[in-house]
Amino acid sequence: MIGALIAKQRAKAQFAARARGDIDQFLAAWTDDAALTFPGEPPWGGTHRGKAKIRKWFERFYERFPQAHFTAENIFVSNPLALTANNEVAVEWSATFGGRAERDRGVVVAKIRNGKAVNLTEYFFQPPRDPMA
């Protein structure tokens, strides 16, 4: 139970950093060789490996959407009894992108090893129009 509480608190802190566009704090919880994947064929899709490439992706994203704001709606932990810093966490989120009135939604699934994200897969249900073209 303690491991699940810690994992949820860390996920909330990650989303708070993401909501502020604080890439440094956001990436501090990732391993240097982490992978970020956007499945499907959106213009920003594919797998980005390594913290430097992931940083570049987020910098480009926030250049295009400086007013993007993400909110963690629900946080799920695969092993609530884990006593170590290894787990899988899924966060259902909503987001606004600048002047658009509607909220977009998605889920990010993270594999955490030794307290750091090693693999994240982000699923957008209604992605913003062509954000990375």
What tens digit of pLDDT does each residue of 29-84 get? 999 999 999 887 766 778 999 999 999 988 988 888 888 888 899 999 998 777 67
Query: Is residue 87 in some structural domain?
Result: yes
Query: Is residue 69 in some structural domain?
Result: yes
Whether 128 has a pLDDT exceeding 70, the answer reads no
CB contact at 8 A, 125 and 106: yes
Query: Is residue 105 in some structural domain?
Result: yes
Count of domains in the chain? 1
First-residue to last-residue Cα distance in the chain: 43
What tens digit of pLDDT does each residue of 88-109 get? 999 999 888 766 656 788 999 9
Tell me which of 83 and 20 has the higher pLDDT. 20
Query: Is residue 104 in some structural domain?
Result: yes
Q: What pLDDT does 39 receive?
A: 87
Q: What is the pTM of this model?
A: 0.83
- What's the CA gap between 15 and 76, in Å, rounded? 14
Query: What is the domain-level CATH number for residue 88?
Result: 3.10.450.50
Domain with 93, as residue range(s), is 2-124
Whether 24 has a pLDDT exceeding 90, the answer reads yes
Q: What pLDDT does 68 receive?
A: 83
Please choose, from the candidates 75, 35, 64, 38, the residue with its C-alpha nearest in 3D space to the C-alpha of residue 51: 35
